[in-house]
Amino acid sequence: EAQVTQNPRYLITVTGKKLTVTCSQNMNHEYMSWYRQDPGLGLRQIYYSMNVEVTDKGDVPEGYKVSRKEKRNFPLILESPSPNQTSLYFCASSLSWGSSEQYFGPGTRLTVT
């Protein structure tokens, strides 16, 4: 089944404790992206990747890191999480950028205390 998977689905952590949210897709997509969803703000793009080893900042990259060492995986790293990073996070992938449907993962709800 074609899908985007994320782990963990739920995470409660404390300020400053490094964490990684994994994302994997099995559709051989080139473009992958991370979004955060907050009430009243919609979906905001954090980072994206055009292909392996090619990543760039979205609109809200502060406090996040990503890597794209393999085509299928695109982990999101929070080196020192803060409470303002409490949010619902989505990973997405598409065949390419430009007029291409994005497939979203099921989401990761992160709470930073």
Partner 1 sequence: GENVEQHPSTLSVQEGDSAVIKCTYSDSASNYFPWYKQELGKGPQLIIDIRSNVGEKKDQRIAVTLNKTAKHFSLHITETQPEDSAVYFCASEASGTYKYIFGTGTRLKVLA
Closer of 32 and 112 to partner 1 (Cβ): 32
Q: CA-to-CA distance for 73 and 23, rounded, in angstroms?
A: 6
Closer of 77 and 104 to partner 1 (Cβ): 104
Q: What is the DSSP string of 15-49?
A: TT--EEEEEEESS--SEEEEEEEETTTEEEEEEEE
Closest CB 80 distance from partner 1, rounded Å: 25
Cβ of 89: how many Cβ atoms within 10 Å? 22
Binding site for partner 1 (CB under 8 A): 4, 31, 33, 35, 40-45, 48, 50, 56, 58-59, 90, 92, 97-99, 101-102, 104-107
Closer of 56 and 82 to partner 1 (Cβ): 56
